Structure 1
Amino acid sequence: MSAPVADGNDALTGHIISTTIGGKNGEPKQTISYMAERVVGTGSFGIVFQAKCLETGEAVAIKKVLQDRRYKNRELQLMRMMDHPNIITLSNYFFSTTSRDELFLNLVMEYVPETIFRVIKHYSSMKQRMPLIYVKLYTYQIFRGLAYIHTVPGICHRDVKPQNLLVDPLTHQVKLCDFGSAKVLVEGESNISYICSRYYRAPELIFGATEYTTSVDIWSAGCVLAELLLGQPLFPGENQVDQLVEIIKILGTPTREEIRCMNPNYTDFRFPHIKAHPWHKVFHKRMPPEAIDLASRLLQYSPKLRYSAVEAMAHPFFEELREPNARLPNGRSLPPLFNFKKELDGAPPELLPKLIPEHVRRQTGLGFLYSAETQTQM
C-alpha cells in the first residue's frame, strides 16, 4: 500500500496538513486535514506533535520522521502489524515533502494525554506514594502489551521506559508507544546492543550482547515496576559503566554462569565481589511481599530466568485486578483487562485459570475450557 504525499508540512502551531485517502478499487477519494496544535516530543528521530483532524474533530498525535528514500520505515511496518488495547493505534500515515526536497513520513496515531513518567513525577512532587491499585493496573497492562508484541508479531520493543508508556487519566488504560527502536528478533541473527534508555537497559545489553531476546523488555518493565513502587528510578546510572555498578549494588556481583548467560565473551572478566542487597530492604517496610517477589523475578541477571510477560501477568501481585468487584478508587470500572487478543497463545495451560478470572469465563462462555484445569489446581 503506497501512502499519499502531502505538500509542505512544517509542524508549527496552526499549520494545516492535508492528505487524501481512498481512491483504490473504485473507492471515492477523501481529503483529511490535520491542524498542528503543539509539539509534545522531540528527539533524534524527529518530532511528535498534537494535532486535530478538521473533518472529525478528533485529537491525534503525529510523529514526523525524516525518511530515507532508499529504505522502508521499520516502525511503520511494525505498527501496521499490531492491534491491541495496550498498544498505541496507528490510524493513518502519509509522506510530506519540504522545499529542500526532503521526504518525511508522518505516522498519525491516537492521542493519549499522559505518560507514566509524568504520573510518577506528580506523586513524587506531592511527596506521596502512588496508590498500589494504580501500580498494579499500570504494570499489568504493560505486561499485557508486551505479551502481545512478544507472542503475536514477535516484536521486541527495546525502549520500554515511563516516557514511552501512555496513560489515559480518566480510564487509566495504558498504551505502549514509540516503536522507533523495535525489531522482530530472529534467532541466530545479530542485533545492536546499544539500544534502550540507560536506566532501563538490561545487563546483557551493557555487556554488549548481540543475540539477546525479548527478555530485555522484561528487565525494562521490572525497572518500571520498581520505579512505580519507589517513586524514583531503581538503577540511576550516570553512564554505561556506572549503570552496571548500580545494578551490582542491588543484585550483587554476577556469577560466572550469569555472565555466560548474558554474554559468553565476558566470562573471564573480573568484578569486585559484592553481596546482593536483600530485596525487602530496597523497598519501604510496608511493601506487600507479592510486589517484592514480582520485582525479584523480573530483575534477574540471567535472561532465561526472568519471567515471561504472560508469567508476570499471572503473578499473585495482580490478584486484586481479577476480583469481580474490582474498581478504581473513584468507583469507576477498571479499563478492559481480559479482552485478550492472542497474547495467551502458547501460554502454559496451568496459567490460563489464573489469567482468565472465573467471572470472565462465565460471561464469555469459556468456563468449560478451563474447568478441568481448575479442578487439577484444587
Structure 2
Amino acid sequence: MMAGKPLMKSSTKNVTCVKVKPGYSNSNKEIEIRYIDTKVIGSGSFGMVYMAKLYDTNENVAIKKVYQDKRFKNRELQIMRRLEHPNIIRLMYYYYAVDNTNEEYLYLVLEFFPKTVHQLIKAYAQTGHVLDLFNIKLYMFQLFRGLSFMSSLNICHRDIKPHNLLVNPEKGTLRICDFGSAKVMNNDDTNVSYICSRYYRAPELIFGAVYYTTKIDVWSAGTVMAELFLGKPLFPGDSAVHQLVEIIKVSIIGTPSKEEIYAMNQNYKDFKLPTVKSVPLEKLFKGRSLHSAVNLLNSLFRYNPSARSSAIEALAHPFFDELRNPELEEMPNGRLMPRLFDWLEREVNIRPDLNKKIFPRSKYVPNCEEIIGLKEDT
C-alpha cells in the first residue's frame, strides 16, 4: 500500500499527498508533494518500484519502496544523500511510512529514466545487433565517471550490472542506480564476499575475500563494457567455480598465479585451479577492430586489484579520445552531446596529473582551465 492520504482531484485521478524531506538538503524541514498515475514497474527482495507523476510539475518519477528490516543495516538512504552527481540517479525526496500491517518502509522518490542498460542490450540483441561503438564510449565514460566520484568518497556500489544502470537513449545519458548493496569502505572493516551478481563479480569475491576495495566495481564495469560489445554476458558462470572457469578461459586473463591469488585473498589456500583452453578476447568480438577497447579491458581485468585500473584511470584511456574532440557537439541522432566535462571540484582534484588526458581543450569545460591545468601558457 502506498503511503499518504489519497485526495480526489477528479473522478478519474487519485492524487496521493505525502510529506517528504529533500534528498540532498541538510534541512529536516518537511514539504508536501502530490503524485498521480502510480503503477508498479519493478519488484525484488528489497521491495517495490513504482512509476508516478508529480501532480504539480507533471514530471515522471520512480518511487522505490524499501522494507526496513531491523535485523539488517540499511545504508541506502545515507549513501544516496552523499551522492549528488550527474551520473548517479538523483534522490529528489524521501519519506518513511507504516503500512496497514504496521511494518515500516522507506520511500525514495527518484528521477525517472526510461530504460536500463539490460533492456537496451536485449532490444539490440533481438534484432541481431549490438550497440554502436560511439554509444558504448558515451555510456562507459559516464559509468566510469560516476564510479570515480563514488570511489573518491570510499563508496563501493557492490552490484554494478546492466540492470542497475539507467539510460536515456535519446539524450545519451547514463545514471547508476540501486544502492541497496552499497557500503562506505573502511580499511579495517571486513565485508561479505557473497555480494554482486555472479556474472559481474570480481575474482577476489569468488576467492572469498573479506577485505576488498572499490576496484570490485571497476571489474564489474569492465564486464558491462564487454557485454555492450557482445550483446551477452562475457562470463556467464552458473556457479562460483564455473564463473572462475569462464574468467580463466579469456586469454588476457588466464589462470591466476599464486601471487595473484594471494593479492586477492591472503587466506585462500586451495590452489587447485582448472586448466582450460583460453580464447583471445579479440576473437570474441567477431572480427571487429577494437584494439583500444581490448587494451582498456585488459587494464580492467586484472586479478590483482592493485594492478587493476581505477575508474579515473579508465577515463584517461585513449578509448575515450573521440569524446574529447572539441568539435564534437552532436550525437549520431542529432541531439546535443551530454555535458561530459562539467566536473565538480571534487572530481577535478581526484587525480590532477590525469586531467590533461581526460579533458578536451574546449568550451565543454567552462571556467575550469586553471584548475585542471588546461590553460595555455602565455
Gaps of 5+ in 1: none
- The alpha carbon displacement at 1:157 in A equals 0.2
Within-5 A mapping of 1:212-251: 212-250=212-250, 251=253
Query: Is 2:47–2:65's contact at 8 Å kept on the other side of the alignment?
Result: yes
**SS across alignment from 1:265:** coil
**Percent of pairs identical after alignment?**
47
Corresponding residue for residue 19 of structure 2 = 20
Report matched runs for 1:1-378 at 5 Å: 6=4, 16-21=15-20, 30-68=31-69, 73-151=74-152, 153-250=153-250, 251-274=253-276, 276-326=278-328, 327-341=330-344, 342-349=346-353, 351-360=354-363, 363-364=366-367, 366=369, 370=373
Name the CA distance, whole Å, in 1 between partners of 2:348 and 2:29.
Answer: 39
Measure the CA separation in 1 of the matches of 2:20 and 2:47.
24
Shift of residue 279, structure 1, vs aligned partner: 2.6
- Cα deviation for residue 33 of structure 1 reads 1.9
Alpha-carbon separation, structure 1, partners of 2:363 and 2:260: 40
3-state SS of the aligned residue for 2:302?
A: coil
**Structure 1 pair 198–16 and aligned structure 2 pair: CA distance change class (3 A):** farther
TM-score using structure 2 length: 0.89
Query: Alpha carbon RMSD of aligned pairs, Å?
Result: 2.5
Question: Per the alignment, do residues 271 and 365 of structure 1 end up closer, same or farther by CA in structure 2, a change over 3 Å counting?
Answer: closer
1:63 match: secondary structure: strand
2:211 corresponds to which letter in structure 1?
E
The one-letter code matched in structure 1 to 2:347 is E
Contact 1:297 1:307 in 2 (8 A): yes
**Structure 1 residues 245 and 224: CA distance shift in structure 2, 3 A:** same
Uncovered stretches (5+) of structure 2, i.e. residues with no partner? 7-11, 22-26
* SS of equivalent to 2:283: helix
Change (3 A) 1:277 1:368: same
Asked whether the equivalents of residues 86 and 144 of structure 1 are also in contact (C-alpha less than 8 Å), the reply is yes
Describe the shift of the 1:343–1:65 C-alpha distance in structure 2 as closer, same or farther (beyond 3 A): same
SS of the aligned residue for 2:347 comes to coil
Shift of 1:296: 1.0
User: Secondary structure at 1:343's aligned position in 2?
Assistant: helix
Distance 1:215 1:362, change over 3 A: closer
CA distance in 2, matches of 1:255, 1:275: 16
| Greater helix proportion | 1
8 Å contact from structure 2 (residues 348, 372) kept in 1: no
Cα distance in 1 for partners of 2:57, 2:49 equals 20
